[in-house]
Amino acid sequence: MSGRENTGRAPTEADVQEAEQQLGITFPPAYRAHLLHPAPGLRRPRALRRGRDGWAWEGDDRTNHALLTTPFPHPASYRAEDEALDAREPREEDYPDAGSFQDAWREWDDACEEPEERKTAGAVYLQDDNPFYTLYVVTGPYRDTMWLDRRAISDDIVPITDRDGRILTFAEWYDWLPNPVDLAAFAPGIS
């Protein structure tokens, strides 16, 4: 790593290759083209920048870089684990006092963090769409697709789809629907 910072300019081909090497991934072609030749679009995805600690996305404190090489899991793949964790949630009436319950609940909550983190493996938090987050999948069978992390209000992650139900690619998402509120209407729940 050179330690140089990249601020305010589009990365060069050498920069993109360095970022890919550091992150352990290869960017899909449309995203790579966007990095090298940013064009005005309806979206404002986070910029990839080299900082003191290496390559990362500006303003992103959610992407787990250690999990970028792990394939993005379809939400149906962790439904059973979620249900098992939910079933183990401590209930206050099962404990002799509030302190015992709080200790058990904190332990359970800590155990939930790792499975929650794995739900966004292989994806970058590319944009905030308050209260949602736009995920861009860079690894696995859903590579180059866009998803909404709606866990802040509905505890789910759903694909961003077109009117026919097809999951949008980065290129399609970049110039799609000007209003982020419209995004929620086209991100149906997963059954």
65 and 123 assigned to the same domain: yes
131 and 157 assigned to the same domain: yes
Please check whether residue 5 lies inside any domain of the structure. no
**β-bridge pairing 132-137 and 123-129:** antiparallel
Q: How far apart are CA 40 and CA 176, in angstroms?
A: 12
The whole-number pLDDT of residue 96 equals 95
24 and 44 assigned to the same domain: yes
Please check whether residue 124 lies inside any domain of the structure. yes
158 and 94 assigned to the same domain: no
Look-up: residue for tokens 């995805």?
45
The whole-number pLDDT of residue 60 equals 93
Mean pLDDT of successive 10-residue segments in the chain (191 residues)? 53 95 96 87 84 93 95 88 88 94 93 87 89 93 95 88 91 69 48 37
106 and 52 assigned to the same domain: no
49 and 102 assigned to the same domain: no
93 and 67 assigned to the same domain: no
68 and 24 assigned to the same domain: yes
142 and 58 assigned to the same domain: yes
- Distance (Å) of CA 129 to CA 63, 75, 109, 126: 15, 20, 26, 10
Strand boundaries in 6-121, DSSP class E:
48-51, 54-57
Q: Which of residues 118, 143, 177 is at a domain's end?
A: 118
Contact 19, 4 (CB under 8 A): no
- How many domains does one find in the chain? 2
> What is the four-CA torsion angle of 114, 118, 119, 121, rounded to 10 degrees?
150
The whole-number pLDDT of residue 89 equals 92
Closest-CA residue to 137 (of 156, 152, 158): 158
Q: How far is CA 125 from the centre of its chain?
A: 4
Q: How far apart are CA 150 and CA 184, in angstroms?
A: 9
Task: Print the domain residue range for 38.
Answer: 13-73+119-185
**pTM > 0.85:** no
Run of H or E residues at 16: helix 13-23
**Where does residue 99 rank: exposed (0-12), middle (13-18), buried (19+ CB within 10 A)?**
exposed
**Where does residue 135 rank: exposed (0-12), middle (13-18), buried (19+ CB within 10 A)?**
buried
Q: Count of residues for the chain?
A: 191
The whole-number pLDDT of residue 111 equals 86
